[in-house]
């Protein structure tokens, strides 16, 4: 009888020991899992602000104060039409009076190259590195001059050509480019106003409104009563 009681006590103690070991293991596992979760969340909170992309650091700045999405698309069309007009003019093999052809070639090539350059400057961060501050005035004057030159060159080339199909197509694309430049001017004035309008507010050298000069204070003269 005593041997049976001893065996039962030993079995009972063994079961209790096993239960304690199981509880310790489960607590260790739960603590390890919680520690890993806490460590991951802490690392995420620390490194997420530095690794997150900054949308303001993009080189493409449209829309901006100097160029919005609509006028950016119009300028892309200007570049394409000017390029097509220039290519069609280059395809012409012979000419009776070449002065009109050469003038149209000069205007279309100039419009293509300089409009592309202006588009790149106005739509990227390069405009801040050039050193030019009066971008609205430059954009307005350039667009107006190119529109006028394109219109004159198209009229001259229309009146003096060999009436070939290539020349007619070049003139058509020239007029389309002229119309696009005029639309660009209209959108500019409609959205930003006339850049040379005198509103009585002087402009500083950096393009912004200048501070009004402080007027000298007038000293009051004390006159003695006679």
Pair of tokens at residue 198: 């005198």
Question: Bigger pLDDT: 22 or 163?
Answer: 163
pLDDT recorded at residue 72:
92
pLDDT recorded at residue 51:
47
Query: In terms of C-beta density within 10 A (0-12 exposed, 13-18 middle, 19 or more buried), how is residue 107 classed?
Result: buried
Question: Bigger pLDDT: 9 or 103?
Answer: 103
Reply yes or no on whether the pLDDT at 223 is more than 60.
no
Angle at 136 between CA 125 and CA 66, to 5 degrees: 40
The candidate with the shortest Cα–Cα distance to 68, out of 106, 24, 119, is: 119
Pair of tokens at residue 178: 């002229």
Compute the mean pLDDT over every residue in the chain, rounded to the nearest whole number: 79
Residue ranges per structural domain of the chain: 2-52, 69-192
Provide the Cα torsion 138, 141, 144, 147; round to 10°: -60
| Gap between the Cα atoms of 110 and 118, Å rounded | 12
The candidate with the shortest Cα–Cα distance to 142, out of 120, 125, 175, 118, is: 118
pLDDT recorded at residue 210:
45
| Gap between the Cα atoms of 86 and 104, Å rounded | 8
pTM of the model: 0.63
| Gap between the Cα atoms of 215 and 85, Å rounded | 57
99 neighbors 171 (Cβ within 8 angstroms): no
Reply yes or no on whether the pLDDT at 26 is more than 90.
no
Q: Which long-range contacts (CB under 8 A, 24 or more apart) does 162-166 make?
A: 162/92, 162/94, 162/95, 162/96, 164/92, 166/88, 166/91, 166/92
Reply yes or no on whether the pLDDT at 38 is more than 80.
no
Mean pLDDT value across residues 61-75: 88
Question: Bigger pLDDT: 95 or 176?
Answer: 176
Coil vs helix vs strand at 203 = strand
Q: Is residue 33 very low, low, confident or very high in pLDDT (cuts 50, 70, 90)? A: confident
pLDDT recorded at residue 114:
96
Q: Is residue 43 very low, low, confident or very high in pLDDT (cuts 50, 70, 90)? A: low
**Which range is most confident: 45-49, 167-171, 204-208, 220-224?**
167-171
85 neighbors 124 (Cβ within 8 angstroms): no
CA distances, 113 to each of 101, 146, 177, 220 (Å) = 18, 12, 14, 63
Nearby residues of 200 by Cβ (< 8 Å), 6 or more positions away: none
Reply yes or no on whether the pLDDT at 214 is more than 50.
no
| Gap between the Cα atoms of 32 and 22, Å rounded | 15
């Amino acid at each position: 009888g005593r041997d049976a009681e001893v065996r039962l006590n030993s079995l009972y103690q063994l079961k209790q020991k096993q239960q304690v070991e199981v509880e310790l293991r489960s607590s260790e596992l739960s603590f390890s899992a919680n520690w890993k979760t806490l460590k991951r969340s802490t690392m995420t909170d620390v490194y997420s602000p530095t690794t997150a992309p900054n949308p303001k650091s993009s080189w493409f700045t449209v829309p901006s104060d100097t160029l919005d999405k609509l006028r950016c698309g119009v300028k892309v069309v200007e570049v394409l039409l000017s390029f097509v007009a220039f290519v069609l003019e280059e395809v012409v093999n012979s000419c009776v009076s070449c002065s009109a052809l050469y003038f149209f070639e000069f205007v279309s090539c100039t419009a293509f190259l300089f409009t592309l350059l202006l588009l790149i400057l106005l739509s990227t961060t390069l405009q801040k590195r050039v050193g030019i501050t009066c971008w609205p005035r430059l954009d307005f004057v350039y667009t107006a001059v190119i529109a006028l030159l394109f219109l004159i060159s198209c009229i001259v080339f229309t009146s003096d050509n060999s009436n070939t199909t290539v020349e007619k197509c070049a003139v058509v694309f020239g007029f389309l480019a002229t119309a696009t430049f005029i639309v660009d001017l209209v959108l500019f004035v409609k959205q930003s106003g006339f850049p040379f309008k005198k509103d009585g507010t002087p402009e500083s050298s950096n393009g912004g409104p200048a501070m009004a000069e402080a007027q000298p204070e007038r000293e009051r003269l004390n006159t003695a009563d006679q």
